[in-house]
Structure 1
Amino acid sequence: MKREWNIFLSALSFFTRIPVKIAEGQIVELSLSVRYFPLVGWLAGTLSALIFFSFDMVFGQSLAIIFSMLSTIFLTGALHEDGLADVCDGFGGGWTRDKILEIMKDSCIGTYGVIGLVFITSFKFFAIQQIVSNLNISTQWSLLICMLVLANTLSRFNAITMIFTHTYVRAEKSKSAPMVHNVKISNLYIALIITLIPLFTLLFYTQQYKWVFVLFPLAIVNLFLSRYFNKWIGGYTGDCLGAIQQISEVVVYLSIICLWKFF
């Protein structure tokens, strides 16, 4: 149990800005922390919801959503947003594998990266706003928590599946290398169980099985992006995982809206 706790702390230290101190001699392989990436999604979704409720009482829904989005950015240190921006710059400005990887490694953000961030944050804001408008927050606050946790959890699981299906193309000394090399399939199963809990909670809470269909658009996103990355660079990088997470989160929100509207 203590070992699992240390693995979870390793996940927190890598995927968030939460200061974590692991006792010397208790440090575990970073590749094991992949199993708890969706659990970080639980944390991000819960924090996002709590910040929304707190600020909604003072500033109203629109500003509360902005503060809610900022809270997850501060929690993760914009890790995934940075990945999305790098992917937009790399694939937008590079026409060869080496050039794409070179641009993605550049710490400076370019035009494509800015456009990508503007679009993804806009989609998030308006999608969450649409979801909130469909709820009576005073009586359905727990439903909003479920949906935010679900989006943050499913999107992270969607990202890590690529670790098990495609090749990591960066050098061994890169930041993400220790996390993605020699990852056992058992970590994916553990991550899947953690991921499905919010979904089953939503199904049980609403007694509506339509929410299962949020999985299908995610599968399409995963298939499309993984094939796209594989075509151009022969696999994936840590930035690609961040991009998948961001896009998948928005897709979950959009799927929820569509299921509400048409089913």
Structure 2
Amino acid sequence: MSNSDTWFPKWGDIPAAIGLLSRLPVWVDTQQAQAHGAHPSWAYGLAGALFGALAALAALVGLVLGLPSLAIGMLVVGTTAWITGAMHYDGLADSLDGLWGGWSPKQRLDIMKDSHIGVYGVVGLICILGLQAALYGQMAKHSLWPILGVMALSRAIMVPLMTALPNARGEGLSASVGRPAHQTAIVAVALGGAIAALTGAWPALIGAPLGALAVAAIAKRKIGGQTGDILGASQQCAETCALICLIALL
């Protein structure tokens, strides 16, 4: 697997991206996916749009049943967590515990690797889950389409972080995927941004990069790069900031 792969899209990259980012039962040619390394990351936005479509269906059920907006938002968040195995929420919790609970890069990485959750992770998850549910619920009352755009862009935005930041640990999911080429990152963001714009989630183009950049800057300073947990945290912060901009500007 090369750290400077040359981008060349293949249809097989789409199920590979879905299989990596979720627990959906898709068939993936494992040998081909491993040989491609970071190639499939260009399709992270497409995978996110699929997750958003399924979450939007859950929201539609809530609307049909006349549930309050917060309950509809919880359906969106819960459906997404179920689809993805809550991997990004786990990354957020581990990142909060490690980045704020450790005193050195090594100690922070060790804490992030620990499967136990600390107070930073608990408080962070409660705040993020509650905020996302409230914002998704309010959005769903107006339109379900932006859900697809937010989830697409917030996953596509992970790719430039993978490209720009070195892996801080040298092992784990992020290291096994590899470092995408600049072309891959550009295509991923362009595709995620296009989906966001077409679904009416254009304010996410402001919020998602801000959220991801904030996580990237903190990770660079505290551990010298990114890990799978940092990428999960960046996705969650990008998603939340995208939602805040959506509600504020629409």
TM-score range, shorter chain: 0.7 to 0.9
Q: CA deviation at 1:88?
A: 0.9
Q: CA deviation at 1:131?
A: 2.2
Q: CA deviation at 1:93?
A: 1.0
Q: Secondary structure at the match of 1:95?
A: coil
Mapped pair 1:22 → 2:35: no
Matches within 5 A, 1:82-231: 82-133=90-141, 135=142, 143-145=143-145, 147-172=146-171, 174-181=172-179, 183-202=180-199, 212-231=202-221
Compare CA radii of gyration and give the structure with the larger one.
Answer: 1
Task: Tell me if structure 2 keeps the 8 A contact 1:36–1:191.
Answer: yes
Q: Secondary structure at the match of 1:107?
A: coil
Whole-angstrom distance in 2 between the partners of 1:124 and 1:130: 10
Q: Which one of 23, 40, 51 corresponds to residue 33 of structure 1?
A: 40
Q: Secondary structure at the match of 1:4?
A: coil
Task: Tell me if structure 1 keeps the 8 A contact 2:159–2:189.
Answer: no
Q: Which one of 215, 225, 237 corresponds to residue 235 of structure 1?
A: 225
Task: Tell me if structure 1 keeps the 8 A contact 2:98–2:109.
Answer: yes
**Alignment deviations for residues 51-82 of structure 1 (CA, whole Å, 9 cap, x no partner):** 11023322514333222211111111101000
Whole-angstrom distance in 1 between the partners of 2:223 and 2:249: 35
**Alignment deviations for residues 182-233 of structure 1 (CA, whole Å, 9 cap, x no partner):** x222212321232122233145xxxxxxx64542333333333222111111
Match of 2:65 in 1: 58
Whole-angstrom distance in 2 between the partners of 1:232 and 1:240: 11
Query: Which sections of structure 1, spanning at least 5 residues, go unmatched?
Result: 136-142, 204-210
Normalising to structure 2: TM-score of the pair? Answer: 0.88
Give the helix-richer structure, 1 or 2. Answer: 1
Could you tell which deviates more after superposition, 238-247 or 217-226?
217-226
Whole-angstrom distance in 2 between the partners of 1:195 and 1:244: 15
Q: Secondary structure at the match of 1:176?
A: helix
Q: Secondary structure at the match of 2:191?
A: helix
Whole-angstrom distance in 1 between the partners of 2:60 and 2:212: 32
Q: CA deviation at 1:152?
A: 0.7
Whole-angstrom distance in 2 between the partners of 1:24 and 1:14: 11
Q: Taking structure 1 as reference, are residues 238 and 58 closer, same or farther at Cα in structure 2, changes over 3 Å only? A: same
Q: Which one of 9, 14, 22 corresponds to residue 8 of structure 1?
A: 14
Residue identity over aligned pairs, in percent, reads 28
Whole-angstrom distance in 1 between the partners of 2:31 and 2:237: 38
Q: Taking structure 1 as reference, are residues 26 and 64 closer, same or farther at Cα in structure 2, changes over 3 Å only? A: same
Whole-angstrom distance in 2 between the partners of 1:179 and 1:110: 27
Q: CA deviation at 1:159?
A: 2.1
**Alignment deviations for residues 112-141 of structure 1 (CA, whole Å, 9 cap, x no partner):** 1111110000110111223234x2xxxxxx
Normalising to structure 1: TM-score of the pair? Answer: 0.84
AA aligned to 1:232 is: K
Q: Which one of 227, 234, 244 corresponds to residue 244 of structure 1?
A: 234
